[in-house]
A and B are shown apart, each in its own frame.
Chain A
Amino acid sequence: MRKGLALYAVAAYAFLHLPLLILAVFSFNVSKFTQWQGFSLAWYRAAFTDRELLESAGNSLIIAAGATAIATIIGTLAAYALWKRASPWLAGAMYLSLVTPEIVTGVSLLALFQWSFRFLHLRLGMHTVILAHVAFCVAYVAVVVMARLRTFDPVLEEAALDLGATEFGAFRSVTLAYLAPAIAAAAMLAFTVSIDDYVITSLVAGVDSQTLPMVIYGLARRGVNPMLNAVSTVVVVGLGILVMISERLRSA
């Protein structure tokens, strides 16, 4: 049974990883077709000079950076608040927003934005995308930070207060210092979730806020395209590096 299990595991890992590996290999193919005809970087050159791709990648980076910054602050504070005073409802809401189908989150936010536009002179655009991304990133941040808080000894904070620290001072130089690696890890996860989102983004984006996943989706709908293989490889490698750093920080 041991051997069978190991063999099975090899097959399962192949199933999980081969599709992306094959995609990456074929991004270096000279030919447009699915037959290997030699090594080339032509598709990468094409991708890096494509205006639509570059512009949308720029948008994605701005949105992810903005949403990550805001979501990290809110998520960290939410985790801290939950740790100070347990609230099953707030915690429940947090988990719920993690498992809510994206399409439901997306249409709810779209409805919220459209409704608020009755009072505000605004339209869908970068700002609504950033807000939407903050909305779904907060829960990811909070969950990661809460995991770290479970190992935090409240006595440390009390000691700082006894030694004359102000409440904010104790929070900043004791609690925050302890949480720093988890917060950094959480921020990176929020960044990857944000930069990768298509479903919610496509619903709340305006005409001037095309993101990279939206362009990738458009290209994928039109069929397979070797330039898209190249873009995918760049994105996957980039995200992979971020995630590995984040995992390191989390287990540190």
Chain B
Amino acid sequence: MLVTLVVPSAIICVYSVLTRGAYGGVERPFTFENFARMFDPLYGLIILRSFWIAGVATALCLVLGFPLALFIARAGARKNLFLALVILPFWTSFLIRIYAWMFLLRDTGLINTVLLGLHVVREPLPMLYNDGAVILGLVYGFLPFTVLPLYATLERLDKNLLEAAADLGSKPWDTLWRVTIPLSAPGIRAGAILVFVPCLGTYLTSDLLGGSKTILIGNLVQNQFTASRDWPFGAAASLALMAVAMGLLFAARRRGEELL
């Protein structure tokens, strides 16, 4: 644990305050310039965009995941099967699942081929290589992360409360809005964090589905460590990403909530 987590983090911390070397290494003097550069409008935009895309994807995951979790929680004997069907895709290759969407979304992909064949559209819809495709890929990839914690809280929900609401004349929709959803707040918070953190640091999804147009923090970090060879700046960006992740986790821990 020490070797795999603490030491690399320490090195990254040190790198982030060094200057970029002539051949791509790191040199002294120490500087905080790398952190200041993140507020450069160019990078600021990338960061804002990352937060925006991660936020939209998280919201969509919660909205789409909640009814599914509700369905599973009320499914009775086949609960475990339905739950397994949600988890299974998560364990099958992430890369391949993104590729599957490329296969569906591209100009000559299945969806466009069908739409063209049915004469619904005249020209292929540009569905790949934009923010929408990235958000779709993230929702597809991280939906299980909201379904699981939501299911866990809905499962533990006291059924008597729902019956009490019904007995007192509440309609099913009202009960949902005023009893079920407020009571599943811990699951909603856990799901939001579990999706938001990896979405914020996503690299593959934006790289493959967003093309060169959608550059997010993850791609920025990767780029600094490979093509641009500006390790100190990459380290600073990576630290910033880590700080957000840790901050959210600690906030959740404070409230005494178990995330996993």
Q: For residue A17, which residues in chain B have a CB less than 8 angstroms away from its CB?
A: 85, 89
Stretch at the interface among B38-46, B181-189, B197-205: B197-205
Q: For residue B9, which residues in chain A have a CB less than 8 angstroms away from its CB?
A: 108
Let me know if B179 is at the binding interface, CB within 8 A. Answer: no
B113's closest neighbor in chain A, by CB? A34
Q: How large is the interface on A (under 10, 10 to 19, 20 to 34, 35 or more residues)?
A: 35 or more
Contact B85 A16 (CB under 8 A): yes
Let me know if A199 is at the binding interface, CB within 8 A. Answer: yes
Q: For residue B113, which residues in chain A have a CB less than 8 angstroms away from its CB?
A: 33-35
Complex Cα gap A134–B5 (Å): 12
In whole Å, how far is A177's beta carbon from the nearest beta carbon of chain B?
Answer: 26
Let me know if B133 is at the binding interface, CB within 8 A. Answer: no
Contact A23 B100 (CB under 8 A): yes
Let me know if A28 is at the binding interface, CB within 8 A. Answer: no
Q: Mark B96-125, 1 if CB is under 8 A from A, else 0.
A: 111111111010111001000000000000
Complex Cα gap A155–B159 (Å): 36
Let me know if A55 is at the binding interface, CB within 8 A. Answer: no
Contact A103 B95 (CB under 8 A): no
Let me know if A174 is at the binding interface, CB within 8 A. Answer: no
Let me know if B82 is at the binding interface, CB within 8 A. Answer: yes
Let me know if B245 is at the binding interface, CB within 8 A. Answer: yes
Contact of A16 among B89, B194, B197, B204 (CB under 8 A): B89
In whole Å, how far is B231's beta carbon from the nearest beta carbon of chain A?
Answer: 7
Q: Mark A205-237, 1 if CB is under 8 A from B, else 0.
A: 000000001001100110110001100100110
CB proximity to A under 8 Å, residues B58-73:
64, 67-68, 70-72
Contact A98 B260 (CB under 8 A): yes
Q: For residue A228, which residues in chain B have a CB less than 8 angstroms away from its CB?
A: 99
User: Known: A33-B108, A111-B15, A224-B103. Contact between A90 and B1, CB under 8 A?
Assistant: yes
In whole Å, how far is B71's beta carbon from the nearest beta carbon of chain A?
Answer: 4
B9's closest neighbor in chain A, by CB? A108
Complex Cα gap A236–B89 (Å): 9
Contact A99 B4 (CB under 8 A): no
CB proximity to B under 8 Å, residues A76-120:
78, 90, 92-112, 115
Question: Quick one: which of B5, B70, B238 has the most chain A CB within 10 A?
Answer: B5
Q: Mark B212-246, 1 if CB is under 8 A from A, else 0.
A: 00000010011001100001001100100110011
In whole Å, how far is A103's beta carbon from the nearest beta carbon of chain B?
Answer: 5
Let me know if A5 is at the binding interface, CB within 8 A. Answer: yes
Complex Cα gap A239–B95 (Å): 13
Contact of A115 among B11, B140, B176, B259 (CB under 8 A): B11
User: Which are the 7 A-B pairs with shortest beta-carbon distances?
Assistant: A101-B201, A108-B8, A135-B4, A19-B100, A9-B71, A112-B8, A243-B91
Q: Which residues of B contact A (CB under 8 A)?
A: 1, 3-9, 11-12, 15, 64, 67-68, 70-72, 74, 82, 84-86, 88-89, 91-104, 106, 108-110, 113, 140, 143, 172-173, 176, 194, 197-198, 200-204, 208, 218, 221-222, 225-226, 231, 234-235, 238, 241-242, 245-246, 249, 253, 259-260
